[in-house]
Amino acid sequence: MPKNVVNPEFLPILEKMPSFDGLSGRSLPEVREIFLTSVRLIEGRPLPDVETQEVYVPGPAGAPDVRVVTYRPRERRPNAPAMVYIHGGGLVSGHPEVDDPKCQLLASKMGFVIVSVDYRLAPEVKYPGAIEDCYAVLKWVHENAQTLGINRQKVAVAGESAGGGLSAALSLLARDRKEYSLAYQLLIYPMLDDRTATKVDPAPDFGEFVWTRSANKYAWEAYLGASAGGADTPAYAAAARAKDLSGLPPTFIGVGSMDLFLCEDLDYARRLMAAGVPTEVSVVPGAYHVFDMFVPDAELSVRFMDNYCAGLKRTLGL
């Protein structure tokens, strides 16, 4: 796909980005350094009206505590909405600080108490390590609602890329375990289907920039500990594998028109709607993977965030 179809505001940063292609031929430290190199391109400044704190919360049974970073407006309000935020990084890299600018902005703009999860990464810890860490944090948020000053009925889950996939899986897990509820799932270009670029190949022009087919295959196999696209991938690992999507919380799915995940995200949205789940979809023209993280001030990035913030406000009654 020629670069002339990329939105002009997203082009300059694209020239500086490292390639995620060929990850399978690299060592794990090299893979993580590629991700960190791209993260260093993100500029963010602390917002004075947001308080940030590092906390360790009880992990899953027999597992270590989970580090989280909390963001909350300094001006406290009772019964605030809460958000469990899950970072991206292809399941093999990343940490909550990657999303520092976005989480600070959401806390400031929306009044959310945000708890961002530092889940265990693959391949050192394979499925279900990451999703169980996220569930442990959801449990902690609900069980400490009074201390946190939040409303248990207004807990949302959100994440981008691999974090979007984990958010979708967390919504399935919460629905099925029936212990803790979620009021909304915000899935930002989510990584939902291990079959993409293996059993199911999207149009050849999708995924040419940033997150590619080979990177996707590498990441899924690191997480699953098996070949991507196999017959037995659990739905709590890859949410697109779920047979039944009924009973899930209202959903926003957003993705760029040039993203490798476009087809799987649109298919998941279609299936959510067919299952009776209120679902809003936003496809951003001329946008590649993680466009809004790298160019947050672009007109389309601002409009994208405004769209999902409007969905959160409407659904949570803010």
Q: Answer for the pair 92, 119: CB distance below 8 angstroms, yes or no.
A: no
Average pLDDT in the 132-137 region? 98
Could you tell me if residue 255 is inside a domain?
Answer: yes
As a whole number of angstroms, the distance between CA 199 and CA 234 comes to 16
CATH of the domain at 136: 3.40.50.1820
When divided into structural domains, the chain yields a total of 1
Q: In terms of residue numbers, what domain contains 78?
A: 10-316
Q: Answer for the pair 262, 1: CB distance below 8 angstroms, yes or no.
A: no
Q: Which of 74-83, 133-142, 183-192 has the lowest mean pLDDT?
A: 74-83
Phi, psi (degrees; rounded to nearest 5) at 16: -95, -10
pTM of the model: 0.94
The per-residue pLDDT for range 264-310, each reduced to its tens digit, is 999 999 999 999 999 999 999 999 999 998 899 999 999 999 999 99
Average pLDDT in the 242-270 region? 97
Could you tell me if residue 244 is inside a domain?
Answer: yes
The residue that leads in pLDDT, 131 or 213, is 131
Could you tell me if residue 84 is inside a domain?
Answer: yes
The per-residue pLDDT for range 152-208, each reduced to its tens digit, is 999 999 999 999 999 999 999 999 999 999 999 999 999 999 999 676 666 666 777
First to last CA, the chain: 41
Could you tell me if residue 280 is inside a domain?
Answer: yes
As a whole number of angstroms, the distance between CA 318 and CA 312 comes to 8
As a whole number of angstroms, the distance between CA 166 and CA 90 comes to 11
Could you tell me if residue 1 is inside a domain?
Answer: no
Q: How confident is the model at residue 27 (pLDDT cuts 50, 70, 90)?
A: confident
Could you tell me if residue 173 is inside a domain?
Answer: yes
Q: Answer for the pair 241, 233: CB distance below 8 angstroms, yes or no.
A: yes
Could you tell me if residue 3 is inside a domain?
Answer: no
What residues are annotated to the active site? Answer: 161, 259, 289
